[in-house]
Structure 1
Amino acid sequence: MTAAATAAHAGNSRRRFVAPLRGQVEAACFRHPLFDGYGEYLDLLTASHWPGIDALNTRMPLSGPRFAEQDAALLADGVHYETRIAQGRIATRAENWHDLFNAMVWMRHPALKQALNRQQCRHIDRIGTRERSPAQQALTQFDESGIVVQVRDASLLDPWDRHDWTTLFLANADRWREGGISVAAVVGHALMEQMLVPGRLLVGKCLVVQGDASNAVARVTEAISAGEALIAPSELRPLPLAGIRGWHADQVAAFYAQEDYFRPLREGRVYPRPL
């Protein structure tokens, strides 16, 4: 990446992301590994027209909340977004990429999304809606930018702990392919939205499951439901997703030396043990 491109990335990261129009997005965008696991829903993204609320609800499990169009009439009740979900309605904006990706995560991982909602509501019941606890901040960060990572080779946690990105990504590229470490699920719908712009350098906020659990997402869901995870934002490990082999085109050694993206470990920063 050139110095100018690096500077542009740094500037873009400080500005609010604006998604491209539907007709401006190439279908090839959705072949990126970030969308692995969502293949059965990609028609919602690639069709020439936006899916309506009824079309989204037909893809949801029969039990649980339903999508409801977010319009003036819906918002007039004054109910908090999370509280409304607990009452059975997920406020969803029409023709909106962010909310469409959120809907896809609800379709794919409903138990996880319900666990996040229950914890948000628990904190709202305790402190109201005028403040946000550290746990609510962590829950929101994971909801927007969350990645579930499974680590079968425990030795790979050490370079991640130290932000030794060259070792984690370049020296151990084969371990990412072979499953020593792997992305078990992308659950952050804001990450999906930003991937609409190819080449964007994204950072996931990760919960890590260590070992050979057959369903890492279920383990994360269990931990969130029990209040054992997402107590504070500091639990979330940053993962520069462009470093994973096959997730970005420019993966030469110099790419991993860019400290504005592959950031050094902040002094005193310590990560919790994996689940």
Structure 2
Amino acid sequence: MRRRFVAPARGDQTAAGFAHPLFGDLSVHRDLIDSPEWPDIDTLNARLPLPDRCFVAQDEALAADGLHYELRVARGRIATRPCNWHDLFNALVWARYPVLKAALNARQCLHIARNGTQRRDSAQQALTQFDESGVIVRVRDAALIQAWDRHDWSTFFQGQAEHWRRGDLAIAAVVGHALMEQALLPERRLVGKCLVVLGEMPEESVARIVAAIRAGEALQDPGGLRPLPLAGIPGWHPRQEAAFYAQADYFRPLREGRVYPPPLC
């Protein structure tokens, strides 16, 4: 039986832990995650203003409206549990990428209108996986992901380390708030669920993903998300020798028949 993830206490975290590249997008609001006290709902709304939504405390009074979480978000209210890492990171991602998060919510609501609240189709699963663990990867040349297509991890990371250092291969955005929560345990080796864009600038890459989500061009099936063992990215883990990349329980071989979509242009 799979154990439910339990995040560490706020007091157990240090500012040094949030220096990891995974948290780079949150640097402007670093004090909300590394200060001793939890921010309350009023603080979140003051510090992370959104144009047409606000954060509301998730409690019994809120649940009394009977709305599905996504439908409530579409009406402008993002249910947020107090003193909760998962929901705090969700709020921070909303603040950093509000248009992207709104696009994910709109697609979820479209499928809920079609399927009801009791059944989830493959597109909803893909949308949720990306929302929870998503990473946008930017590449300057599609040939650089051929090793990724094969799960040839040593070549993709070690063999192309210079391309990672130069930014020919790069993380354009970390979207997954559950991924951030799990990163609170530094020994945990994380896997992002990725969409890939052929381009130069992070902002343009995010905008391309937003357009693809809105059009139903991406996130129609979980199989379209590429797994990325984040500890393999040059500089993201202290152990990156050949034996590290040979650990098949983390750097998993390609499943027979698995084919990934090409990068979005």
Q: TM-score range by the shorter chain?
A: over 0.9
Q: Which residue of 2 is the match for residue 40 of structure 1?
A: 28
Give 2:101's aligned amino acid.
K
SS at match of 2:47: coil
Q: Which residue of 2 is the match for residue 241 of structure 1?
A: 230
Give 2:115's aligned amino acid.
I
SS at match of 1:36: helix
Q: Which residue of 1 is the match for residue 171 of structure 2?
A: 183
Q: Please state how far the C-alpha of 1:43 moved relative to its aligned partner.
A: 0.6
Give 1:112's aligned amino acid.
L
Q: Please state how far the C-alpha of 1:211 moved relative to its aligned partner.
A: 2.7
Q: Please state how far the C-alpha of 1:246 moved relative to its aligned partner.
A: 1.0
Within 5 A, what are the aligned runs for 1:132-147? 132-147=120-135
Q: Which residue of 2 is the match for residue 101 of structure 1?
A: 89
SS at match of 1:64: coil
Q: Which residue of 2 is the match for residue 5 of structure 1?
A: none
Structure 2 unmatched ranges of 5 or more: none
Q: Which residue of 2 is the match for residue 4 of structure 1?
A: none
Q: Please state how far the C-alpha of 1:232 moved relative to its aligned partner.
A: 0.6
Q: Which residue of 2 is the match for residue 6 of structure 1?
A: none
Computed over aligned residues only, the root mean square deviation of the Cα atoms, in angstroms, reads 1.1
Q: Which residue of 2 is the match for residue 171 of structure 1?
A: 159
SS at match of 1:219: helix
Q: Which residue of 2 is the match for residue 24 of structure 1?
A: 12
SS at match of 2:257: coil
Structure 1 runs (4+) deviating above 6 angstroms are: none
2:36 corresponds to 1:55: no
2:248 corresponds to 1:262: no
Q: Which residue of 2 is the match for residue 117 of structure 1?
A: 105
Given the two structures, how large is their TM-score scaled by the length of structure 1?
A: 0.93
Find the aligned partners of 2:165 and 2:78 in 1 and give their Cα distance.
Answer: 36
Find the aligned partners of 1:65 and 1:136 in 2 and give their Cα distance.
Answer: 22
Q: Which moved more, 1:231-240 or 1:206-215?
A: 206-215
2:181 corresponds to 1:211: no
Q: Please state how far the C-alpha of 1:212 moved relative to its aligned partner.
A: 2.6
2:50 corresponds to 1:67: no
Q: Which residue of 2 is the match for residue 80 of structure 1?
A: 68
What count of residue pairs does the alignment treat as equivalent?
263
Q: Please state how far the C-alpha of 1:200 moved relative to its aligned partner.
A: 1.2
Find the aligned partners of 1:192 and 1:20 in 2 and give their Cα distance.
Answer: 12
Q: Please state how far the C-alpha of 1:76 moved relative to its aligned partner.
A: 1.1
The answer to whether the Cα contact below 8 Å between 1:199 and 1:248 also exists between their aligned partners in 2 is: no
Find the aligned partners of 1:177 and 1:215 in 2 and give their Cα distance.
Answer: 20
SS at match of 1:207: strand
